[in-house]
């Protein structure tokens, strides 16, 4: 059920896109600022991504996040096999923590989230970002997949994997050591 072709959002520098279906290969390649939700991708999704936020509500092809140096992706790992399809040479995989746990465990300065200017300059937790984007995806597309995930949010959240550049993690660890 591919509804958008190969290389959609190639080099995007901003904006939002919500796709009620699966994208072809190289979805969001070289994305440097767009925010998007899609229900699955072909091979090489988020390849060479330098910025932006990508949410994938279904399976991905192989080599996801190859060369990723910026931005964040959240992938629904329904079959528990995403780590085998992700290229982790430059990307790190993390769990999406419940908001309360993220707030308790990590100072905001270590969160990999943009500052939300509309919310008084506070950073949003991963759960807030992810759930908010899925809610907007549902509102814009009427997606049955999004509706089902939101209806069983606690069980859905634990299956999401956060994908971020390894360099971001190394920088945060270095900052912790110094201060």
What domains, with CATH codes, occur in the chain? 2-178 (2.160.20.60)
Neighbour count for residue 3 (Cβ, 10 Å): 14
Model confidence pLDDT, tens digit, residues 120-134: 667 899 999 999 999
Model confidence pLDDT, tens digit, residues 77-132: 999 999 999 999 999 999 999 999 999 998 887 787 665 556 666 789 999 999 99
Q: Rounded CA gap, 157 and 11, in Å?
A: 29
Q: Rounded CA gap, 6 and 16, in Å?
A: 18
Token output for 154: 């606690």
Model confidence pLDDT, tens digit, residues 48-68: 999 999 999 999 999 999 999
The predicted structure's pLDDT at residue 176:
47
- Among 90, 84, 93, CA closest to 67: 90
What global pTM score does this model have?
A: 0.91
């Amino acid at each position: 059920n591919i509804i958008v072709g190969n290389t959609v959002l190639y080099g995007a520098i901003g904006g939002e896109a919500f796709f009620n279906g699966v994208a072809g290969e190289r979805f969001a390649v070289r994305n440097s600022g767009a925010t998007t939700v899609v229900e699955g991708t072909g091979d090489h999704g988020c390849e060479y991504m330098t910025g932006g936020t990508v949410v994938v509500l279904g399976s991905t092809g192989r080599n996801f996040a190859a060369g990723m140096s910026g931005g964040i992706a959240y992938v629904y790992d329904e079959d528990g096999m995403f780590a085998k399809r992700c290229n982790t040479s430059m990307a790190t995989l993390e769990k999406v923590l419940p908001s309360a746990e993220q707030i308790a465990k990590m100072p905001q300065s270590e969160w990999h989230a943009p500052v939300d200017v509309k919310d008084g300059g506070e950073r949003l937790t991963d759960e807030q970002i992810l759930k908010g984007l899925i809610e907007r995806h549902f509102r814009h597309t009427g997606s049955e997949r999004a509706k089902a995930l939101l209806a069983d949010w606690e069980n859905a959240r634990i299956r999401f994997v956060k994908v971020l550049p390894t360099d971001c993690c190394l920088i945060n660890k270095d900052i912790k050591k110094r201060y």
